[in-house]
Amino acid sequence: MIRYPNGKTYQSKQTNGGMSHQKSIYSNRGMTLEEDLNETNEFYRIHGIAVVHKKPTPVQIVNVDYPKRSAAVIKEAYFKQASTTDYNGVYKGRYLDFEAKETKNKTSFPLQNFHEHQIDHMKQVVKQNGICFVILMFSTLQEIYLFEAKFLFPYWDQITTGGRKSIPKTDVEKQGHFIQFGLHPRIDYIKIIDKLYF
């Protein structure tokens, strides 16, 4: 059992087939969005392009069962703090910070996929002139977009005034940047960062 800092129990969201939403399988690919991004970042690092890492989530373990020396089982743990975004690093001297999210929805991207502390963090990064964005994947359609954080904020802010709770896919297509799946790297988001910032 894992708990958030406020004591609430963490439960992974389930999708069809009982798989975590981060473990949805691309058709005929067998890779998750996270695995593709990790492989992309490894490609960037090996080739001296950028240094970007997935942020570890700090966990405090409070109860471990040791049935035998080689088989310790964590029975209870707590998230030490709410996580911010998934990835951060540096590219051409600029700080990069981004979140990766996916949905099976075909017509819009639900904002419930984000948390207020993540949005607050991204706003702080943008204020400090960091490069901040989200990678949005429409998994059913096999489409992926880089969506700058500055465009995400107005959609998030409209929720507080009773506005819609999702970003229409047509808006993602207009304001975002389509990323073609590749082989090496798999999700070449740096190509888009070059066009936008350099």
Residue 61 belongs to a domain: no
Q: Domain of 142?
A: 19-56+83-197
Per the annotation, does 99 bind a ligand?
yes
Residue 78 belongs to a domain: no
The model's confidence at residue 22, banded by pLDDT at 50, 70 and 90, is: very low
Rounded Cα–Cα distance for residues 155 and 184 (Å): 33
Rounded Cα–Cα distance for residues 173 and 177 (Å): 7
Q: Check residue 164 and give its pLDDT.
A: 93
CATH of the domain at 116: 3.40.1350.10
Sign of CA dihedral 144, 169, 151, 104: negative
Residue 113 belongs to a domain: yes
Q: Check residue 58 and give its pLDDT.
A: 62
Residue 188: CB atoms within 10 Å: 19
The model's confidence at residue 56, banded by pLDDT at 50, 70 and 90, is: confident
Do 98 and 86 touch, CB atoms closer than 8 A?
yes
Residue 25 belongs to a domain: yes
Whether 136 has a pLDDT exceeding 80, the answer reads yes
Burial of 83 (0-12, 13-18, 19+ CB in 10 A): middle
Mean pLDDT across the chain: 85
Residue 34 belongs to a domain: yes
Query: What digits encode the pLDDT tens for the residues 58-90?
Result: 667 778 888 777 778 877 766 555 678 999 999
Query: What digits encode the pLDDT tens for the residues 154-192?
Result: 999 999 889 999 999 999 999 999 999 998 999 999 999
Residue 115 belongs to a domain: yes
Query: What digits encode the pLDDT tens for the residues 92-119?
Result: 999 999 999 999 999 999 999 899 999 9
Residue 4 belongs to a domain: no
Q: How many domains does the chain have?
A: 1
Per the annotation, does 86 bind a ligand?
yes
Residue 164 belongs to a domain: yes
